[in-house]
Amino acid sequence: MLNRRNFLTAAVGVAAAGGLAACAKKDEGASSSSSGGGSKTITLGFSQVGSESGWRSANSDSVKSAAKEAGYTLKFSDAQQKQENQISAIRSYIAQKVDVIAFSPVVVTGWDAVLREAKAAKIPVVLTDRSVETSDESLYATLVGSDFTDEGRRAARILEKVLAKAGHKGAVKIAQLEGTTGAAPAIERAKGFKEVMDAEHKDDWKIVVSQTGDFTRAGGKQVMAAFLQSNPDINVLFAHNDDMAIGAIQSIEAAGKKPGKDILIVSIDGVKDGFVAMSEGKINAIVECNPLLGPQLMEVVKKVKDGETVERWIKTEESDFMQDQAAAALPNRKY
């Protein structure tokens, strides 16, 4: 059974107004059945960050299939990585008087106003995947999401193993490909990695260059090319997700270097394409972040709709993978 790692709950509700931004893609679908006993089908409004990565696509598919299986009516919107599109979508859901609103926030700040509107309308809000910073935690019911700080720590720990296995001696010059600026996973993964680095590797590890690649392959490729121009002696890459690592590999190869050997690579997510790259020796290790949150989300949606108390966190079983595990693990990758 999927669980998810440490986050808050507080009482919920959500308030009124709005219309969906024209530029945001909208993919609204209704599941056909109601939950039996003549009870009204739950209508869930869900605003997704976008479709920037393989992880995000798998997450969207999980939400859609789980809603259908639960018999919920799902109104789904793709914010195309723009906060203003998500705010417009949430206001549209408030105006439509959905039963519950869920969203994966693009960034951590700037949500108080729309969440107060939701609370005034008495519509519970559930955060998925990512957290927000708010002056009032009662504006949302709970967060179904990972402990990104711990993922950063795990990335540092697995890099220790990668370096030992490679027989690396001397300075560790790290390039960091950050996620979207202001997004919870970017902030917290960087924080966790640096915690371990500062505590235990102050003398031998150094992040020599760090920049956002927006969680995309194109971003990873472009930024890594710039890294290699300004810092050609980089010997480690820490990428906040697999897609940026895969993009970076293209630039590493274009520069005549061997990814996984000349530049050791650790990334986070565990999508299938990341495992393919790992099985080819191009990524050395991956910290898993499971995107299949749909079933847990639907359970939480029903609880908050029924006014039940929800858990302070929901945890997912996640693993760390080294290169020599990739071939065996690859056939089992569901995303």
Strands in 4-147 per DSSP E: 25-30, 43-48, 73-78, 100-103, 125-129, 142-145
> Which residues lie across from 225 on neighbouring strands?
none
3-state secondary structure of 111: coil
Rounded CA-CA distance 144/6 in Å is 9
Per-residue tokens: 274? 């990341």
pLDDT of residue 79: 97
Lowest-pLDDT range of 2-16, 138-152, 296-310, 314-328: 2-16
Task: Round to whole Å and give the CA distance between 19 and 233.
Answer: 51
Is residue 315 very low, low, confident or very high in pLDDT (cuts 50, 70, 90)? Answer: low
Instruction: Please state whether 45 falls in left (phi above 0), alpha (psi between -120 and 50) or beta.
Output: beta
* pLDDT score recorded for residue 57: 95
Q: End-to-end alpha-carbon separation of the chain, Å?
A: 17
pLDDT at 32: 35
% of residues, the chain, pLDDT over 70: 87
pLDDT in tens, 30-42: 443 333 333 579 9
Residue 279: CA count within 13 A, CB half-sphere = 14
Using the predicted structure, report yes or no on whether residue 71 has a pLDDT greater than 50: yes
Render pLDDT for 193-213 as a digit per residue (tens, 0 to 9): 999 999 999 999 999 999 999
| Length, in residues, of the chain | 335
Cross-strand bridge partners of residue 285? 266, 322
SS3 state of residue 245: helix
Helix axes 294-305, 54-70, angle to 10 degrees: 50
* 3-state SS assignment for residue 199: helix
With contact defined as beta carbons under 8 Å apart, do 93 and 69 qualify? no
208, containing H or E segment: strand 205-212
Kindly report the pTM of this predicted structure.
0.87
Gap between the Cα atoms of 147 and 188, Å rounded: 8
Statement: residue 321 has pLDDT above 50: yes
The residue written with tokens 């107060």 in the block is 116
* Mean predicted lDDT score pLDDT of the chain: 89
Q: Once rounded to an integer, what is the mean pLDDT over residues 252-264?
A: 98
Q: Look at residue 40 in the predicted model and tell me its pLDDT.
A: 78
Residue 312, pLDDT score: 63
Q: Are 10 and 137 in contact (CB under 8 A)?
A: yes
Residue 309's pLDDT band (cuts 50, 70, 90) = confident
Rounded CA gap, 217 and 224, in Å?
Answer: 10
- pLDDT exceeds 60 at position 126: yes
Contact at 8 Å (CB) between 248 and 220? Answer: yes
The conformation of residue 330, written as its DSSP 8-state character, comes to: G
Spatial CA neighbour of 101 closest among 112, 110, 114, 113? 114
Pairing of β 264-269 and β 285-288: parallel
Average pLDDT value for residue range 89-105:
98
Query: To 10 degrees, what angle do helices 242-254 and 54-70 make?
Result: 160
pLDDT single digits (tens) 276-293: 999 999 999 999 999 999
- Give, as one character, the DSSP assignment of residue 331: G
Please report the pLDDT score of residue 152 as a whole number: 98
Identify the CA nearest to 184 among candidates 155, 150, 136. 150
Nearby residues of 103 by Cβ (< 8 Å), 6 or more positions away: 46, 47, 48, 86, 89, 90, 125, 127, 128
